[in-house]
Amino acid sequence: MTKTKKLVIALGLIAAVAAAAVMLIPQVEFIVGGGLVNIGYRLQDRLGKYDLQHDESISPSEIWEGLMAQNDLAADVRDVFPRTVRHPVVVILACMDARIDTSELVGDTRRYYYVVRTAGSVLAPAEQEMLELAVLNGVKVVVLTSHSDCAAEAAASKPESREKFPALTELMDERVHHVEEFLARPVIREAMEKGELEVKFARIDTDSDRLVVGDIEATFPTPSVSNEPHVGH
Ligand SMILES: [Zn+2]
C-alpha cells in the first residue's frame, strides 16, 4: 500500500469517527452546531459595507427593500428546512440594545427561550403580564437582565434626556420597584413558593455576553442624575 493510500484511509477513518461522534453524542452535536452558527455570525459580521451601510446616503426605502430581500431568502430557506417546535422553559427580559443577541447569549438556537425586550429592561405592568403569561405557559426560569453600557441607563442619568424621554426615564427610576411588584404577583409568588419557578437577576457584559449574576439592586442600579456628558449607543 502506498503512503498516499494509507493517508487517505486514515483521514477517511478520522472523518467517519468524527461524523459518528457528531451524530451519536448529543453534546458533541450541540457544540458542533453552535460552532457552525458562530462561523455564520462571524462571516456576516465582516459585511458592514455590503448593504445596510451606516452612511448618510442610504434611504429608509432602500433599507426596507434590503430587509424584504433578506426576508425572502430566509423564508425560502425556512420552507426547505422547517423549524422544530420546542416548548420554551425560560423567559428572558433583556434590553432592546441591538448588540445583545439572546441566541448568542445562551449559545443556543433551539428556541427554548421566550424573550421580552424593552429599552433598559424596564418592567411596566404590561411587561409583568407578559412574563406571567410565559410562566403560565410552562416557563420554569425567569431571567431578568440589564447590561453594561446601556443607553437607557445613560439617558436616565442626564437631565436633558430625562426631559426628552420622561416616560422611559420614570420607568428606569422605578426598575427595582417594578421587579419587586412582579415578584409579589400571586401567580409568580406561589410558583416560587412551590419550587416550580426560579427568578434570577443578571447583568450582561455587553462585550463578552457573560451573565454576571447578582441581586436586584446590583442588576438594576438606580440612575444617579449628573450633568456629565456621556457618549452612548
Ligand atoms: Zn440598554
The answer to whether residues 99 and 211 belong to one domain is yes
Cell readout for 51 is 448593504
* pLDDT (tens digit per residue) in 149-189: 999 999 999 999 999 999 999 999 999 999 999 999 999 99
The answer to whether residues 119 and 177 belong to one domain is yes
Judged against a pLDDT cut of 80, whether residue 208 lies above it is answered with yes
Residue 230, domain member (yes or no): no
In which band, very low, low, confident or very high, does the pLDDT at 228 lie, cut at 50, 70 and 90?
low
Domain tally for the chain? 2
* pLDDT (tens digit per residue) in 27-56: 989 999 999 999 999 999 888 777 777 677
Residue 150, domain member (yes or no): yes
What is the Å distance from ligand 1's center to 147 Cα?
Answer: 6
* CATH number for the domain harbouring residue 144: 3.40.1050.10
The answer to whether residues 111 and 4 belong to one domain is no
* pLDDT (tens digit per residue) in 84-142: 989 999 999 999 999 999 999 999 999 899 999 999 999 999 999 999 999 999 999 99
Residue 6, domain member (yes or no): yes
What is the Å distance from ligand 1's center to 231 Cα?
Answer: 13
The answer to whether residues 98 and 21 belong to one domain is no
What is the Å distance from ligand 1's center to 97 Cα?
Answer: 5
Q: What is the pTM of this model?
A: 0.86
